[in-house]
Copies of this chain bind each other. A is one copy, B any other.
């Protein structure tokens, strides 16, 4: 539902959101969050390419939240790491290819409810909310 990588990304963004307009080194974020430093570097790179984070190289460099990123729903983050299908869930809990309102599986309604709650969660929660 939420990959470990995506959860890392949430934590990282939360750490940045809590320290706006500061240049934070990857090493520092790794130490603070407990995320493996080298892996965290990859994640931050993807966040940069996705336009959520800005970076600066060299002495005094580091990462910071990009302007306007605080208001982005965390759904945008999930899409980056877990793909579109993870955010726009329409799958069947049994894995049946054709499961819809017309031919529902045993869990169709309840599963749809669970998914809706999830969708609501990731669309209403914004990056700024992750600040700890």
Contacts and interface: CB of A to CB of B under 8 A. Distances in A.
Interface of A: 1-2, 4, 7-8, 10-11, 14, 92-96, 105-107, 110-111, 113-114, 117-118, 120-121, 124-125, 129-132
Contacts of A114: 114, 117-118, 121
A1 to B, nearest CB: 4
CB-based closest 4 A-B pairs: A7-B95, A106-B129, A110-B121, A1-B1
Copies in the complex: 2
Contacts of A96: 11
A130 B120 CA distance: 28
Contacts of A130: 94, 105-106
Contact of A93 (B2, B110, B113, B120): B2
